[in-house]
Amino acid sequence: VERLLGVEAPPRAQVLRVMFNELNRISSHLVWLATGGLELGAVSVMLYGFREREVLLDVFEGATGLRMNHNYIRIGGVIMDIDDEGLPKIRQFLRDMPKRIDDYESILNDNPIWLERNVGVGKLSAQDALAFGVTGPMLRAAGVPADVRKDAPYCGYETYDFDVPVRTEADAYSRYVLRLAEMRESMKIV
């Protein structure tokens, strides 16, 4: 809509958009990890994933007044600037989260039950993923490096230094590994 109207969001609004998009990406990956962990018997991972997500929901609520349906990005900018408590919470989250991801990896990466329930399970080839219109981590876990932030940048994404993690195994385990890598890349952007 902004392109059609010839409107450009102010630089700070663009930075806030990217920051909130990436924090929301982390939040979404945490929900995936937590609920997937619960379904596969890794109850502790569910508790940890929702613990970290709760911090992000507090940040979202402070900035938007809502915990989950943020309605933050608006045509021409954002609804409001981040509150005084938001940036310190985000900085603390960025300090804490790398160790938390390390913890997830130490719990799951070599866990025989986790491996048995994920390696080689739910394979979806790149060809099938493309045929079905699959996007995001599932597509990248099948070896297709598609990411709209790189392929058709918006909000200044072209000015950020980040990688697009890609795997080729196309199974549930590769999607797990990829999402952890994506969370690390999102933290780099933020």
- Cα separation, 114 vs 42, whole angstroms: 8
In the three-class reduction of DSSP (H, G, I as helix; E, B as strand; rest coil), residue 136 is classed as helix
Encoded tokens for 6:
């010839």
Let me know: does 174 contact 122? Beta carbons within 8 Å. no
**Mind listing the pLDDT tens digit for each residue in 31-59?**
999 999 999 988 999 999 999 999 999 99
Kindly list the distances between the CA atom of residue 43 and the CA atoms of 35, 54, 55, 92, 107, in Å, as whole numbers in the listed order: 9, 17, 19, 25, 11
Q: Is the pLDDT of residue 83 over 90?
A: no
Which residue matches tokens 């297709």? 144
Encoded tokens for 162:
């980040």
Provide Rg for the chain, Cα atoms.
17
**pLDDT at res. 76:** 95
Element holding 50 (H helix, E strand): helix 43-64
**Mind listing the pLDDT tens digit for each residue in 124-157?**
999 999 999 999 999 999 999 999 999 999 999 9
pTM for the full predicted model:
0.94
